[in-house]
Amino acid sequence: MKSKAGKIISSVLVCTSFAVVSAQAANTPEPANVWAGTLYAEGNLGCIMKSAADVRLPVILYEGNTYFPLRTAGELTGKNVGWDAATKTASLSGSVEKVYQTDAKESAIPEDGKLSVSQDTGIQISIDGTVSALKDANGNRVYPIIYADTTYVPLRSVSELTGLEVKWTKNSVNDEFIFIRTPLTEAQIKAANDYVWAQAEHLSTLHDLAKELRQKDTLTEDLRTSTVEKLGAEIDKMEAEKCPDTPLLKTTDAKLREIFTVLRATVDKMKTASLDSVPSIASNEFRFDNEGQVYMAIIQMKMSLDQKGIIEKGDLPPYDINN
C-alpha cells in the first residue's frame, strides 16, 4: 500500500511539464535519502523545494551528491525551465526574477527520510543553449535522477554552471547547511561586513537605552522623555545606514527596514503611554518582539555572508537580548 506522501507525489507531480520522462529509459531504482538540512539562497533562510501544485518536495542525497528538482533549479538561479522530449534535453535559459519558496500547503517528504531514485544518463542539461556535463565537487561526471516522475539535477553543478557559488557546511551540533549565492568581490564582502556590524552596534545601543525604560522603580517622566528621544535618534541612524548593493543582503535588508518601522511605532507608543505601562512595553514588545526580530535578521545576514551554520564569539558585537 502506498503511503499518503507517495499518493500525493504521484497525483500532483506527473503534471509538471518538464518533469515527465520515460521510466524505461532510466536505470533500476536505487536507494537514496532526504537531505534534512537548511538551505540559504542569496541570504534567504530556509528555502524549500515545491511543485507547481504547491506540494513540498524533498532535497535528495544520492551517491554523495545533493539533488533538487529542475523546477527549483530554475527558480533559484533565475532561469526559465524547458523540456524537449524528442532530445531528452532539460534546459535552463534566459534571465527571470529569482524565486525563493519558504512554505507549501502540503508535504510529500517521506517521514522516514528514505526513498528510491533512478539515474538517467540519457537526459541532457542545456544551460543558455549549451549542453553541459554535470560534475560533482571532485570533477566526476554525474547525471540527473528521477524521483516520482520528476527530474532532479545536482545542486552544486547546476548552481555553479549558472554562475552561482555553493558551500556546504555543518555547525557544532552537526546541523547541515547549504549556501547558494552570487559570488562577492573582496570589496563587497568588506562593505557587507561593515554594514552588518554597524547595524548590530546600533541594536546594542537600542538595547541599552531601552533598559532604562524597563526599570519601573526608577522611571520618571523626564527619563522617559529623554530616553525615547535617544531611541528615535538611534533608529534614524539605523535607517540611514546604506546596505551594499548585493543580492545576498537584498531580501533580508528589506525585511529589516520593515522592522525599523515597527520599532519606531513602539517607541512612539512608549512616548504617549501611561508611565506605569512603559516598562511592560519596553520589555515585552520592544525587547522581545522588535529587538528580537532585528537581531535575527542581522544573524541571518551574517550567517549568509560567512557561509557557516553558527555565529561565534567575535563575529558580531556582544549582545544579550535576555539581559
Q: Quick check: 12 pLDDT over 50?
A: no
Q: Quick check: 18 pLDDT over 80?
A: no
Q: What share of the chain is helix, strand, coil (3-state, %, to 5)?
A: 40, 20, 35
How far is the C-alpha of 125 from the C-alpha of 135, rounded, in Å? 12
The cell 545542486 sits on which residue?
155
- Grade residue 24 by pLDDT with cuts at 50, 70 and 90: very low
Q: What is the mean pLDDT of residues 53-74?
A: 95
pLDDT at 289: 93
Report the alpha-carbon angle 18-21-24, nearest 5.
175
Q: Quick check: 6 pLDDT over 50?
A: no
Q: Quick check: 17 pLDDT over 60?
A: no
Q: What is the mean pLDDT of residues 69-91?
A: 95
Phi, psi of 55 (to 5 degrees): -110, 130
* All residues at 6 or more sequence positions from 128 whose CB lies less than 8 Å from its CB, including other chains: 79, 92, 93, 94
Phi-psi region of 20 (alpha: psi -120 to 50; beta: other; left: phi over 0): beta
**0.75 surpassed by pTM:** yes
- Grade residue 149 by pLDDT with cuts at 50, 70 and 90: confident
Instruction: State pLDDT tens for residues 202-247.
Output: 999 999 999 999 999 999 999 999 999 999 999 999 999 999 999 9
pLDDT at 2: 41
Helix (H) or strand (E) holding 65: strand 65-69
Average pLDDT of every residue of the chain: 90
Question: Percent of the chain scored above 90 by pLDDT?
Answer: 85
* All residues at 6 or more sequence positions from 280 whose CB lies less than 8 Å from its CB, including other chains: none
- Grade residue 26 by pLDDT with cuts at 50, 70 and 90: low
For residue 290, give the C-alpha cell.
Answer: 522588535
